[in-house]
Amino acid sequence: MGRVLRIGTRDSQLAAWQATTVQNLLKHAGIASELVYMKSEGDIDIVTPLYELGVLGIFTKTLDAALLNNRIDIAVHSMKDVPTQLAKGIQQAAVLERASSKDIFVYKSEKDLEALGYDGKEWNKLAPTNRNNQQQYIIATGSVRRIAQWIYRYPGHIVENLRGNVNTRLRKLEEHHWNGAIFAAAGLERINLRPPQSVDLDWMLPAPAQGAIMIVCREGDEGAFEACYPLNHEPSAICTKIERDFLRALYGGCSTPISALARIENEQVILKGNVVSPDGKQKLEIEKQFPVNLASTMGVQAGNELLDKGGTAIVDMIRKNGLPGNENH
């Protein structure tokens, strides 16, 4: 391929790491490329809570426009930030092998961590009576999904808004009075910023496609597609598609209190999903298992099943609150 691929990326440290990773993989395959840096709406406004911005694809729209205007040839995204319905004229070219899908809690005090029910090895299961008698605790996150799951588990706690790239949010955590903040493990680990004072939130189900990197290109650009498709990691692509199908079946927005995680074990796909009311008072969960060769519609089936079990009322509540936006890392 004689063409030099133009790789569009946001200019944060994490986004640059992701784009450079793709660039290196292409170089290894003998394909030349260059990085083109851009700022998204979500990067410019780092104060307003994402759910108040009310814009689907707030971290991807700028790159989408650049692709469609032929200013770049491919774009690299954190897959969980990509709307479940790609913009017209854009197609998925590859999903890289997924990193950790977990959320983590970055804390300030070991004592505070113990108060949350973590004994140094695992999180205790909290009975409802215990949840209702908790000390006041202040945590920070800009994700409505994380807020809803946290308040469901700890209804007496206060959650404050935290926006910005991962570097900015770690700095804000140090400067503010918060007891801790929630991040995606992959976002911090990829750029070696995960603090020692952090633990995996094993009880918190992640955003659909969390930890995965997606490459997109223009429809009809066979050269760009054929250059990127060999980078596709099939198990990661299968699992993230199922999770995003689950999200789309329930609602479709990226910043909603809807979570899903699919994994492949012994030729079986195991899917866990949930939807939590924005106020954290209601949660519906589902778990399904299908053979890999029969799992193509698994996400849609699970989403529809959860709607039939009472999820419709929660989704209506989400729509009423006007929450579509995008996740933070």
Question: What number of other Cβ atoms are within 10 A of residue 78's Cβ?
Answer: 26
Strand spans (E) along 152-267? 158-160, 180-184, 198-200, 213-218, 258-265
Q: Assess contact for 268 and 288: CB atoms under 8 A.
A: no
DSSP letters spanning 73-131: SEEEEEGGGS-SSPPTTEEEEEEPPP----EEEEES-HHHHHHTTB-SS-BPPPPHHHH
Candidates 203, 208, 197, 308; CA nearest to 256 is 208
Candidates 77, 138, 131, 153; CA nearest to 108 is 138
Q: Assess contact for 207 and 259: CB atoms under 8 A.
A: yes
Burial class (CB in 10 A: 0-12, 13-18, 19+), 215: buried
Q: Assess contact for 43 and 109: CB atoms under 8 A.
A: no
Provide the β-strand partners of residue 36.
8
- Fold of the CATH domain 1-96+212-232: D-Maltodextrin-Binding Protein; domain 2 (3.40.190)
Q: Which sequence spans correspond to the domains of the chain?
A: 1-96+212-232, 103-200, 234-321
**Active-site entry in 81, 103, 221, 245:** 81
**pTM for this model (two decimals):** 0.90
Provide the β-strand partners of residue 270.
263, 289
Tens digits of pLDDT across the chain (329 residues): 679 999 999 999 999 999 999 999 999 999 999 999 997 654 434 444 444 334 446 678 999 999 999 999 999 999 998 999 999 999 999 999 999 999 999 999 988 888 899 988 899 887 554 555 566 799 999 999 999 999 999 998 999 999 888 999 999 999 999 999 999 999 999 999 999 999 999 999 999 999 999 999 999 999 999 999 999 999 999 999 999 999 999 975 556 899 999 999 999 999 999 999 989 999 999 999 999 999 999 999 999 999 999 999 998 888 877 654 445 56
**Shared fold status for 103-200 and 234-321:** no
Q: DSSP character for 316?
A: H
Domain 103-200: state its class. Answer: alpha beta
One-letter amino acid at 96 equals L
Domain 234-321: state its class. Answer: alpha beta
pLDDT value for 318: 81
Q: Is 64 a catalytic residue?
A: no
pLDDT value for 50: 42
The contacts of residue 287 (CB under 8 Å, 6+ apart) are 270, 271, 272, 273
